Amino acid sequence: MNFKNIFSILFFISLFFTISAFQLPKKTTKKVAKEIKNVFNTTDYILDSVSIPPSFDGKLKSSLNNSNFFSIKLNDTLIGFAYVDSAPSKTADFDYLILLDPKLVILKTKVLMYREEYGGEIASTRWLKQFIGKTFTNSYEYPKDISAISGATISVRSMTYSVDCFMNSIRVLHENNIL
């Protein structure tokens, strides 16, 4: 067996343990792994659940827990954070991912699964790139800070609100030296 085959086997074993440890759906986990690989240029990372103290229950706008908020480490060095959640659209929810660097700056937002017939334009890279580079000090208000998309108003408002809530939660955790 050559080195490439051994590496592939080890990668899929680690992917399996990531899936089973964090209980993300298999399809979602594959999409998250692909985005982490593209953004951080590595497949050797480890996802660790970020532990939020119980004293923060009810103080955060987003529901951050050990199955949706992770640190991304490479050789025991923090290289970023990943957050996976869902947000409502008109009749269903859509799944999304937010990747942050260690300084809590948004590196990538991605709609992982959109389940509506209309409004899927929010998954476009062009629309989502307006979140890149923003931090918890930025404003996320539709349509003042975030552009509209004709035919996707509910989804745009929902994604904007979700990112705002998440970054507000990040601010609270940062101010309390959790992150």
Separation between Cα atoms, residue 116 and residue 83, nearest integer Å: 22
* Confidence at residue 6, expressed as pLDDT on a 0 to 100 scale: 44
The confidence score (pLDDT) of residue 2 equals 53
CA 139/CA 87 separation, integer angstroms: 19
Q: Residue 125's pLDDT is what?
A: 94
* Integer Cα distance of 83 and 97 in angstroms: 6
What's the CA gap between 159 and 157, in Å, rounded? 6
The 10s digit of each residue's pLDDT in 1-27 is 554 444 444 344 444 444 344 467 788
Average the pLDDT over 40-61 and give the result. Answer: 92
